[in-house]
Amino acid sequence: MRLILIGPPGVGKGTQAALLQERLGLLPISSGDIFRAEIREQTPLGVMAKSYIDQGLLVPDDVTIGMMQGRLSRNDVREKGFILDGFPRTVAQAEALDGVLAHLGLGLSGVVAIEVDDEIVVSRLGGRRICPNGGEIYHILTNPPRVEGHCDVCGTPLMTRPDDNESTIRERLKVYHNSTRPVIDFYQAHDQLVRVDGSQEPEQVYEQIVTELPG
Residue 172 designated active-site: yes
With b for 16 or more beta-carbon neighbours within 10 A and e for fewer, the 114-124 pattern comes to: bebeeeebbbb
Of 88-117, which residues contact Zn ion (CB under 5 A)? Answer: none
Closer to Zn ion by Cβ: residue 153 or 175:
153
181 contacts: CB under 8 Å, gap ≥ 6: none
Closer to Zn ion by Cβ: residue 91 or 147:
147
Q: Any alpha helices (H) in the chain, and if so which ranges? A: 13-24, 31-40, 44-54, 61-72, 75-80, 91-104, 118-126, 166-189, 202-212
User: One of 50, 78, 80, 172 is an active-site residue; which one?
Assistant: 172
Question: What is the torsion angle, in degrees rounded to the nearest 10, for the CA atoms of residue 129, residue 131, residue 137 and residue 138?
Answer: -50
Grouping H, G, I as helix, E, B as strand and the rest as coil, residue 93 is: helix
Q: Assess 133 for contact with Zn ion (CB under 5 A).
A: yes
Closer to Zn ion by Cβ: residue 119 or 148:
148
Q: What's the rounded Cα separation, in Å, for the pair 62 and 95?
A: 12
Residue 181 designated active-site: no
Least distance to Zn ion from the beta carbon of 149, Å?
12
Which of 56-64, 104-112, 127-135, 179-187 is the region at the interface with Zn ion (rule: CB under 5 A)? 127-135
Which of 62-70, 102-110, 119-127, 155-163 is the region at the interface with Zn ion (rule: CB under 5 A)? 155-163
Q: Assess 151 for contact with Zn ion (CB under 5 A).
A: yes
Q: What's the rounded Cα separation, in Å, for the pair 68 and 57?
A: 19
Q: Assess 149 for contact with Zn ion (CB under 5 A).
A: no
Least distance to Zn ion from the beta carbon of 131, Å?
3
Q: What's the rounded Cα separation, in Å, for the pair 9 and 85?
A: 12
DSSP 117-132: -HHHHHHHHHTEEE-T
Among the listed residues 104, 153, 159, 210, the single contact to Zn ion using CB under 5 A: 153
Q: Assess 134 for contact with Zn ion (CB under 5 A).
A: yes
Q: Assess 158 for contact with Zn ion (CB under 5 A).
A: no
Q: Which residues bind Zn ion (CB under 5 A)?
A: 131, 133-134, 136, 151, 153-154, 156
Give the residue numbers marked as catalytic. Answer: 13, 89, 128, 161, 172
